[in-house]
Amino acid sequence: MSTAERPMPPLDADERTTLAGWLDFYRATLAQKCAELSEEGLREASAAPSPITLLGLLQHLAEVERNWFRRVLAQEDVPSFFPPPPGSGDAGQGREGGWEAAEDATYEQAVARWEAEVAAARENCAARALDDTSPFMGGAQVTLRWIYLHMIGEYARHCGHADLIRERVDGRTGV
């Protein structure tokens, strides 16, 4: 995903194109917030006591993409990138993980993982209608439409975090 381009969501498209457009807009926003920073800048925390970093956000959103578009939508049995720490009792197997970057984690690795998950998400959505459902927790069914809306909200929230972190790291605001 190019960090130079952030596609404007369509103003007059059908529902599916609009939802996919807004999700891609926020994906590109995250990429731009991480662009042109050093590894140190990507690891700089927002503000105490929060440990959130841009690298952590990128890793987390790769895991969120993997969870919703592969595990839930496509019912793929894929492991977490970030298993829970031993003894944590995390029954979710780290599905909301990624917040903390390992010492040897790099931006190049994180962005490649994230881009691969975005590509898998697009592929898994391509043949499905918005009303298609997948099994979800407790015997419920979730539609692709709901997943798109959830992911737009997830990215919008985290792009707000990214705005604040980037401003703290190097003073850059806006995109």
**118-156 pLDDT per residue, tens:** 999 999 999 999 999 999 999 999 999 999 999 999 999
pLDDT-derived band at 47, boundaries 50, 70, 90: confident
> Which residues sit opposite 141 in a β-bridge?
135
For residue 103, how many other CB atoms are within 10 A of its CB? Answer: 5
Average pLDDT over residues 31-53: 91
> Which residues sit opposite 143 in a β-bridge?
133
30 CB-side CA count, 13 A: 30
- Residue holding tokens 């190019």? 2
Q: What is the pLDDT of residue 6?
A: 86
Q: What is the pLDDT of residue 2?
A: 44
The per-residue pLDDT for range 62-83, each reduced to its tens digit, is: 999 999 999 999 999 999 887 6
Q: Which residues of 6-21 are buried (b: 16+ CB within 10 A; e: fewer)?
A: beebeeeeeeeeebbb
Mean of the per-residue pLDDT values for the chain? Answer: 89
Q: Is the pLDDT of residue 5 over 70?
A: yes
Q: Is the pLDDT of residue 31 over 50?
A: yes
Q: Which residues of 150-169 are buried (b: 16+ CB within 10 A; e: fewer)?
A: ebbebbeebbebbbebbeeb
Q: Report d(CA 79, CA 74) in Å as an integer.
A: 14
- Stated pTM of the model: 0.89
Q: Is the pLDDT of residue 113 over 50?
A: yes
Q: What is the pLDDT of residue 150?
A: 98
User: What does the block give as tokens for 96?
Assistant: 């909301």
Q: What is the pLDDT of residue 175?
A: 66
| Most distant pair of Cα atoms in the chain: their distance | 51
Q: Report d(CA 159, CA 164) in Å as an integer.
A: 9
Q: What is the pLDDT of residue 84?
A: 65
Residues in the chain: 175
Strands 133-135 and 141-143: antiparallel
The SS3 of residue 76 is coil
